[in-house]
Amino acid sequence: MTGLETDGIAMDDRKAEDIQHRRDARRGATQLLIEILDDLKNREAAHPDRKAEASLRDFIERLDERAFGLAILLFALPSSVPFVYVLPQILSVPMLALAGQMAAGRESPWLPTKLQDRRFEIDPLRAVIKRCEPFTAWFEAIARPRFPELTGRIGARVIGLLLLVPATSILIPLPGTNAVPAMGISLTSLGLIERDGALVILGLFVGFAWVALLLIFGVSAASIIKDFLLSMF
């Protein structure tokens, strides 16, 4: 194969990636996550004898310029399901890593090779994201570009630094420490994806307010309030 042919193939690959990213950008965040998981599942169709799996590397390679927001949303949504433990603590580790990278000013997500190559079952993750879709779809419907300074380069670094607080709360394996902070992180991620500074502020407020509640009143009081709020929906 000549050098010109190799260059031509590389250009075609980049063009295909650009077209895919433009298509992805027109989708809502949750819908995009589900479609990426469906695409990865279809790739596994050649192996019907085993459960459909994918690696984080497979997922991250599909992300566009909204990569940080989408990657954090992927980890935050499963953590926002109430009364689920262990999984949120596991997912908080890459959330902390991504938030730290945002604070450091990285332009695209990076995860250690061992973590990128870690495989996960697609169907359970898709089911959780689908369960959260009505919640995220409502906020996506009202989202619009607002307060661009908050989602710009400097603003994103500040947001990354602030996200370390609710992400650290999720890491702590105690009742009441994961669901609401993860909801706040999910809202902040949607704000980053939609370039909506108001949504970013709302998400950070939810996360910080809950952490403050835990620190002031303790886990027991926070759990009572959470159960009361959940009973209203």
What does the pLDDT look like over 15-64, one tens digit per residue? Answer: 444 444 444 444 567 787 888 888 878 876 666 666 777 777 777 777 75
* Total structural domains within the chain: 1
pTM for the model: 0.74
DSSP three-state, residue 233: coil
C-alpha span between 179 and 88 (Å, rounded) = 8
The whole-angstrom separation of Cα 33 and Cα 27 is 9
Residues 6 or more apart whose CB falls under 8 angstroms from that of 104 comprise 157, 160
Distance between CA atoms of residues 55 and 156, nearest Å: 26
**Coil/strand/helix, residue 51:** coil
Mean pLDDT (the chain, rounded): 78
Q: Of 80 and 21, which is predicted with more confidence?
A: 80
Neighbour count for residue 15 (Cβ, 10 Å): 10
The boundaries of the domain holding residue 107 are 3-231
